[in-house]
Structures are given as C-alpha cells and as structure tokens.
Amino acid sequence: MKLLEYQGKELFKQYDIRIPRSHLVSDIEQAKQAARKLSYPCILKSQLSVGGRGKAGAILKCKTESELVPKFNELMNKEVKGELPTHILIEEIVDIRGELYLSLFLNRSKRCYSLIASAEGGVEIENVENKVIIDVLIDRLSAETAEEVAHKLKLRAKTKVSFTDFTMKLSKLVREKEVELAEINPVGVLNDDSLIALDSKVIIDDNAIFRHPELKKYEHISELEAQAEKSGFSLVELDGNIAIIGNGAGLVMSTLDMVSYAGGKAGSFLDFGGSATTETIYEALKVISNIKRINAILVNLFGGIVKTNLVAQAILNAYNNNLICVPVFARISGAESEKAKEILKGTQAKLYDTVEEAIDAMVKEVSR
Amino acid sequence: MEFNKMDNEFNIFDILIGKESDEDYKKKPVIIQGMTGSYGSTHTRLMKAYGTNIVAGVTPGKEGQSFEGIPVYNNIAKAVEVSGAKISAVFVPAPFFLEAATDALDNGIKLLVAIPEHVPIKDSMKVLEYAERQGARMIGPNTPGVIVPEIMKVGIMPAQPFRAGNTVVFSRSGTLMYEVSYNLTRAGYGQKLCLGVGGDPINGTNLIEAFDMIRNRQDVESIIVVGEIGGDSEEQLAAYLIKTNFSKPVVAYIAGRSAPKEKRMGHAGAIIYGNYGSAESKLAKFAKADVPVAKRPSEISKLLAVKLKK
C-alpha cells in the first residue's frame, strides 16, 4: 500500500520526525482558511500516489490569496498519469539552508534493508553520483551505523547529531509499521541544524496490514477492487476494453503481454487464484461485469487442474442471467473440453485449444 | 554420478529423494503442517497418490486422528520424533506461518516448503534468518512447491504437466511453471526438477540459490527460468551465469512485459518501481548472458531446441 504524501507525513509525526505545518483540504473555502492560518506564501501540493509531481506541475507555490483560487482549481483538475486528486495539502514554506536525501527500503535480492543517503537532496536519487548505500538489518540498525553514514555525508557536527536521530526515528517507523520503502526527498536542513521531512514516500507491506488496523484508513482501493479482494481475487484495472481472467498471476500477466503483442488493449487483469469452480468463475465474471468499457472477455485457464465443463457452465449461467452480454473467448484445454463446447453452443462464447488462437480471434472481432 | 560439491551447495536431490544406497531412496519422509484443513487435505491426497512418502500431519488439537491412513499430531516435535522426517510442507494460513515455520525449524526440519500466499515480509525474513542459523532451507513462501517428476512432489502442482527428464524449471509463478513444463513435456523435454521460488518479494530460495543446487549436476541438460517483473533476481542470476561460466543451455521467459509501473500484478513481488523490476532491465541482462528470452510461454521449447543443437 502506497501512502499519499500527507499520510506518510502523519506517520512521520507520530514518530517525532519533524514535518512542516500543513492542512489537508478538499474545497476552496477550506483552502483559503488553511492558507490564512499558515500565512502567504505557501505551497499547494496535489495528493497523488504517482511520482514526478513536481515535474508534472502538481506542486505550486502560492504568494497571495488572489493566486490561491486559480491555483487550487488548477491542481484539483490536473490529471497526472491518469490520476486526479481528491485533496490538496497546503503547507508552510520552510526556511532551509540545505537539502539531503534519505531512504530505507527492502532490498529484495539481498533480503535485508538498504539505507541510501546523500548530501544532494531534492533530485531523483538515480541521478545522484555521491550517495552512501549500506545494507542494514532493520531490527538491529544501530546509532553507530547512522553516525557512520552521517560522517560519510560530510555533514557538520551539529547536523550529524540531527541526522543520526532522524535516521533512527525513520528506522523505527519502518520496523514497526512493516514498511517496504520509506523515502524522504528532500530532507530539509534548518538553520539550527535540525532536520525536517519536506516530502514523504511510504509503501507498507500489504500482507502485514492485518496487524496494523490503524493503517486501514489509508487504504484507497476502488469499490471494484474491494469486491474482488473479498472473493480472494487479484484485480488490476487498466484502461483498455478487454477483460483478462485466469488462474494464477503469472499466467494472467503472460496473457496480458500476448494480448498487447496482438494489438489488443487490456481493460482489466483478474487472477482468481488456484481453484476454478463454477462459482469462482461466475464470481469473477460478476466483478468484470461492473466495468463498463469492457467489450470482450478473454479467459485463460491452465488445464489439468480445471474441469472445463464447470467453467463452461459458469459462462453459460452468466449469459443466462444477463450478467454479461459481451463475447467470451476462452482457452480451456483440459479435461471434458468436448462437453464444454457442447454447453456453450449457441452462446457468444468460443473455446480454443491455445491462448494464441483465442487472442487472435478476439482481437480480430473487437477491432472490427 | 559425480558432483563437484561446493561448500555452500545444498543438495536438493539428497534431501528430497536421497542416494541410491539409502534404504529409503526415493521415499524420504515428509510432514504436512496443516494437513487437516481443506487445502492441506486435498493436496496431501494428491501428493500421496503421486508417490510422496507422507508420514505425518500436524494440526493442533487433532492428535490421534488420521487422514488417508496418515497419523495426525498436535505438534511437529512429536511428528518428527515419530517419523524422523526432515522435510515439511506448510499449508497453514499466512498469519500462522511464522509460528508453524519456527516450530518446524526448532525440531530438525531441513527443508521447509512454504505454500501460503500473503505471508508478511517481516515474517518471511525472520524465518529465513532462523533457517540459515539452523542449517535449513526454505522454498517459498507463495510457492507451488517442488517436484521431481514421476518420483515425488512436495506442493500443490498438478501431476499432469510433468514428465521425468533432464531439464530443470525454476519459476516465480505457479501456473506458469505448469504451463511451461507441460509445453516442454509435449515437445519431448522431460524435467529433472521443477521448483517454484515463489511470487513474493522475499524468496527463501532465490533464483541464484536454486541454480546453485543443480549447476554442477551432470544429469541436468538445460535450465528454464520463468521470471516476471519485479525485483532483480533475474538480473542477479544472469550475472551469476556469466560469473560461473555456465555452459549448458539456459532459456528464460519474463511475464509482465506490458504491465504498467507501480501496479502490483497479482503477486506481491510483481511490481515495477522506476526501472527497478522492469522487464527491459531483465531482458538486457539475459541478453548479456546469452540467454534467449521467449516472448510467450509456447516459444520456450523452440528456443531450447535451438540452444541444444548448438
């Protein structure tokens, strides 16, 4: 679960990591009040989960109240990488004398955490030459290690002390909230050498959220995703018109790729997991039926574990109950496939032995 | 058969089926933790039918019962004591995985096959660290398990796709492991071993470690790597293939070439951040290691045929 900036900063605050004064607003009246409280100039930050907000113009400085209205409206209507905000964070401008970079993230191949720090903050860390990277065990990160990093960054004595403290607080947060990635870019260096988090990027381990009911409120999944999750499915909404359903994340991903090679555009990715019964397939079709832009459904099931007649029955039921009215292209080679073909005779569903054949037929028909 | 045994080499075949001189060759005992649940019981039956020597099940509070003639115990200590098993397949739900796995490692289990999906990363890391200390190995979590075709399987894979042979399949995805193995089988390439490394960000046995298990075996002819977007284990393996001068044919496949960034594609581990975890990065590293990457699963056996001819 990727937190929005303000959510990450709420966590920072809980861990005594200093953040600028700010207010979260969703309409112009709230915005005016907030800006008055903070005093001008202030910063308007669109609360989006996508990266690169600065470059996309989703963060604006605001000098006067007369600037506030147009800028607020601009941000509320600005879509960045397909995402529109529901909230704007209005933040005070902090007087800083330098910027640093700090992150702690799960290093998957080394199976530990890595700490990255740099004395050059505010730019994408991939483009920074001078950075310190060390591998740490997150439950055993010592103040000595943090001091060593501060030393390597050549910070001045007082900033070193602040940096160590700041890093220890962040590592506590990462450990306790089961965070996969916590990045603060930039970390502002204040004139008194204390540090302040000017941005936040925090990703929490989805599989650990059951242990953190306090983080539940940050979940921002769509109604459809919630419905899918309840049935034990993984659903990813995409922007095309073809729904892809299958058993297994890898299989559905590979189907998505093949649809894309064939010139089709996927509108959703649905993995219904291991067991393919009439009920689960029907449930999956039900989820898909809520996506309006879908005009074809591709089903890719690996045979051997699936009785294809059960799948066919689910598709037939979905047509009979008017749950779906778009054509289904299914690759369900496996036991009982002749029976399956018989069941679906006279419907808009077509069965194929290979997924390639199903995709070719589908893309031809959809693009007609 | 001769092996150039490395110090850090974990001989999966010795653990799973043993040596020909062993009294229980091909019949190494296996314990199932969570055997009486619906998932555990279904697959216990299927594993047994395949030839796996399942000797005990563990479900707290159900000692004295039996399933398919296999006795159930309250705890793994007893199950190990009675059976002497060193392999355990864990079928408990994710929130109970840490406890079940720790118990297993405390009681002499040397190969832990971690089936459950949705295990928190923190728990996987704890188990992994403990397994290392105990000289044990974990496969998974979120894995279909491991199969030595036509001999035994520890996991949830169907039997039908697999045939005995000389190819090894390592896969981050369950269903793709079946799909690819089935394709290989039909093309005449049986498998020596198929192992699911798991779809999570943290793998008990990662691709490099899996590769290390078989890289010096003379009875392995080729390796198929079924990867996907997310992380950099394919990149690491590609570099390792170069470093170890591995000369046998390796063919790869990467699922998720068209997946959008920053979206978790079903598996907890299948997510791209920036360039980290992207298909392009993996393709580039495999190209350097002279490993052809199939565009679709059905292409793998064709690429393998070409590689084997060279």
C-beta atoms of B178 and A305 within 8 A:
yes
C-beta atoms of B120 and A256 within 8 A:
no
- Which of B172, B175, B301 to mutate against chain A (most A CBs within 10 Å)? B175
- At residue A127, the pLDDT reads 87
Reply yes or no on whether the pLDDT at B1 is more than 60. Answer: no
B270 and chain A in contact, CB less than 8 A: yes
User: Residue A253: inside a domain, yes or no?
Assistant: yes
> Which of helix, strand or coil describes residue A350?
strand
- At residue A353, the pLDDT reads 86
CA B252 – CA B221 distance, rounded (Å): 15
Would you state the structure tokens that stand for residue A190, as one six-digit string? 């204040």
CA A229 – CA A146 distance, rounded (Å): 40
- Which of B121, B180, B293 to mutate against chain A (most A CBs within 10 Å)? B121
- At residue B180, the pLDDT reads 96
Which residue's structure tokens are 């009486």?
B36
Which residues of A are less than 8 Å from B295 in CB distance? Answer: 257, 261
Which of A73, A92, A111 is a domain's end point? A92
Q: Are residues A51 and A68 in the same domain?
A: yes
Q: Are residues A139 and A34 in the same domain?
A: no
Q: At what angle do helices B174-186 and B300-309 cross, to 10 degrees?
A: 50
Q: What is the b/e burial string over A84-98, where b = at least 16 CB atoms within 10 angstroms of the residue's CB? A: ebebbbbbbeeebeb
Catalytically annotated residue among A5, A91, A180, A183:
A183
User: Which residues 225-244 of chain B have a CB within 8 Å of chain A?
Assistant: 226, 228-233, 236
Which residue's structure tokens are 């030459």?
A129
Reply yes or no on whether the pLDDT at B121 is more than 80. Answer: yes
Q: Which residue is closest to B200 within chain A, CA to CA?
A: A108
Which residues of A are less than 8 Å from B255 in CB distance? Answer: 250-251, 253-254, 257
Q: Which residue is closest to A177 within chain B, CA to CA?
A: B122
A261 assigned to active site: no
CA A17 – CA A7 distance, rounded (Å): 13
C-beta atoms of B259 and A248 within 8 A:
no
Which of A173, A196, A216 is a domain's end point? A216
> What would the DSSP string read from start to end of A99-149?
EEEEEEEEETTTTEEEEEEES--SS-GGG-SS-EEEEE-GGG--HHHHHHH
Q: Which helix (H) or strand (E) segment is A228 a member of?
A: helix A223-230
> Which of helix, strand or coil describes residue A195?
strand
User: Residue A3: inside a domain, yes or no?
Assistant: no
C-beta atoms of A236 and B172 within 8 A:
no
- At residue A291, the pLDDT reads 93
Q: Quote the Cα angle for B23-B56-B138, to 5°.
A: 80
Sheet holding A88-92, edge to edge: A22-25, A88-92, A42-46, A59-62
- Which of B122, B240, B280 to mutate against chain A (most A CBs within 10 Å)? B122
Which residues of A are less than 8 Å from B199 in CB distance? Answer: 249-250
Reply yes or no on whether the pLDDT at B280 is more than 70. Answer: yes
Region B36-64: what's the mean pLDDT? 95
User: Residue A2: inside a domain, yes or no?
Assistant: no
Our CA-based measurement puts residue A183 at a distance from the nearest CA of chain B, in whole angstroms, of: 13
C-beta atoms of B266 and A234 within 8 A:
yes
CA A294 – CA A281 distance, rounded (Å): 17
CA B144 – CA B142 distance, rounded (Å): 7
C-beta atoms of B255 and A254 within 8 A:
yes
Q: Which residues contact A300 (CB under 8 A, 6 or more apart)?
A: A244, A245, A246, A251, A252, A255, A330, A331, A355, A358
Reply yes or no on whether the pLDDT at B21 is more than 60. Answer: yes
- At residue B96, the pLDDT reads 96
- At residue A273, the pLDDT reads 82
Residue A311 belongs to domain spanning: 223-366
**What is the DSSP code (8-state) at residue A252?**
H
- At residue A223, the pLDDT reads 87
C-beta atoms of B296 and A354 within 8 A:
no
pTM for this structure?
0.94
**Which residue positions in chain A have pLDDT lower than 50?**
none
Q: Which amino acid is at B8?
A: N
Identify the CATH class of B12-139: alpha beta
The residues pairing with A117 across neighbouring beta strands, listed in sequence order, are A102, A132
- At residue A335, the pLDDT reads 64
**What is the DSSP code (8-state) at residue A61?**
E
User: Which residues 139-168 of chain B have a CB within 8 Å of chain A?
Assistant: 156, 158, 160-161
**CATH number for position A176:** 3.30.470.20
Q: Is the peptide bond before B149 cis (omega within 30 degrees of 0)?
A: no
CA A297 – CA A65 distance, rounded (Å): 51
CA A184 – CA A166 distance, rounded (Å): 11
Reply yes or no on whether the pLDDT at B157 is more than 80. Answer: yes
C-beta atoms of B296 and A261 within 8 A:
yes
**CATH number for position A286:** 3.40.50.261
User: Tens digits of per-residue pLDDT, B298-308?
Assistant: 999 999 999 99
Name which of A109, A251, A259 is nearest B206 (Cβ-Cβ). A109
User: Residue A153: inside a domain, yes or no?
Assistant: yes
User: Residue A326: inside a domain, yes or no?
Assistant: yes
Q: Is the peptide bond before A41 cis (omega within 30 degrees of 0)?
A: yes
Q: Which helix (H) or strand (E) segment is B94 a member of?
A: none
**Do the Cβ atoms of B183 and B256 come closer than 8 Å?**
no
**Do the Cβ atoms of B98 and B128 come closer than 8 Å?**
no
Cα distances (angstroms) measured from residue A319 to each of A233, A289, A301, B90, B188: 21, 11, 19, 40, 40
Name which of A250, A271, A304 is nearest B228 (Cβ-Cβ). A250
CA B289 – CA B207 distance, rounded (Å): 15
User: Residue A7: inside a domain, yes or no?
Assistant: no
**CATH number for position A74:** 3.30.1490.20
Reply yes or no on whether the pLDDT at B2 is more than 60. Answer: no
Reply yes or no on whether the pLDDT at B8 is more than 80. Answer: no
CA A12 – CA A10 distance, rounded (Å): 5
Catalytically annotated residue among B28, B267, B282, B285:
B267
Q: Is residue B267 packed enough to be buried (19+ CB in 10 Å), middle (13-18) or exposed (0-12)?
A: buried
Q: Which residues contact B81 (CB under 8 A, 6 or more apart)?
A: none
- At residue A254, the pLDDT reads 97
User: Residue A344: inside a domain, yes or no?
Assistant: yes
Q: Which amino acid is at B138?
A: M
**What is the DSSP code (8-state) at residue A217?**
G
Our CA-based measurement puts residue A54 at a distance from the nearest CA of chain B, in whole angstroms, of: 16
CA A61 – CA A294 distance, rounded (Å): 41
Looking at the structure of chain A, the number of domains it has is 3
Q: Are residues A150 and A83 in the same domain?
A: no
C-beta atoms of B179 and A302 within 8 A:
yes
Q: What is the b/e burial string over A298-315, where b = at least 16 CB atoms within 10 angstroms of the residue's CB? A: bbbbbbbbbbbbbbbbbb
Q: Are residues A229 and A361 in the same domain?
A: yes
* B5 φ/ψ angles, rounded to the nearest 5 degrees: -75, 125
The residues pairing with A102 across neighbouring beta strands, listed in sequence order, are A117, A184
Would you state the structure tokens that stand for residue B112, as one six-digit string? 């832990």
The residues pairing with A24 across neighbouring beta strands, listed in sequence order, are A89
- Which of A1, A49, A181, A207 to mutate against chain B (most B CBs within 10 Å)? A207
- At residue A305, the pLDDT reads 58
- At residue B6, the pLDDT reads 43
B175 and chain A in contact, CB less than 8 A: yes
C-beta atoms of B176 and A304 within 8 A:
no
Q: Where in chain B are the domains?
A: 12-139, 145-309
**Do the Cβ atoms of B256 and B269 come closer than 8 Å?**
no
Which of A216, A233, A266 is a domain's end point? A216
Q: Are residues A211 and A237 in the same domain?
A: no
Which residues of A are less than 8 Å from B160 in CB distance? Answer: 303-304
Q: Are residues A362 and A227 in the same domain?
A: yes
Catalytically annotated residue among A5, A6, A91, A101:
A101
Q: Is the peptide bond before A186 cis (omega within 30 degrees of 0)?
A: yes
Of A95, A110, A59, A104, residue with least CA distance to A80: A59
Cα distances (angstroms) measured from residue A25 to each of A10, A40, A320, B296: 15, 16, 47, 48
Region B81-105: what's the mean pLDDT? 97
Name which of B161, B233, B260 is nearest A109 (Cβ-Cβ). B233
Q: Are residues A162 and A27 in the same domain?
A: no
User: Tens digits of per-residue pLDDT, B193-226?
Assistant: 999 999 999 999 999 999 999 999 999 999 999 9
Q: Are residues A348 and A262 in the same domain?
A: yes
CA A350 – CA A362 distance, rounded (Å): 9
Give the right CATH number for B145-309 from 3.30.479.30, 3.30.930.10, 3.40.50.720, 3.40.50.261. 3.40.50.261
**Do the Cβ atoms of B204 and B198 come closer than 8 Å?**
yes
Q: Which helix (H) or strand (E) segment is B102 a member of?
A: helix B97-106
CA B137 – CA B281 distance, rounded (Å): 29
Reply yes or no on whether the pLDDT at B4 is more than 50. Answer: no
- At residue A80, the pLDDT reads 93
Q: Which amino acid is at B77?
A: A
Q: Are residues A244 and A346 in the same domain?
A: yes
Our CA-based measurement puts residue A261 at a distance from the nearest CA of chain B, in whole angstroms, of: 9
**What is the DSSP code (8-state) at residue A50?**
S
- At residue A31, the pLDDT reads 97
- At residue B151, the pLDDT reads 97
Q: Is the peptide bond before B141 cis (omega within 30 degrees of 0)?
A: yes
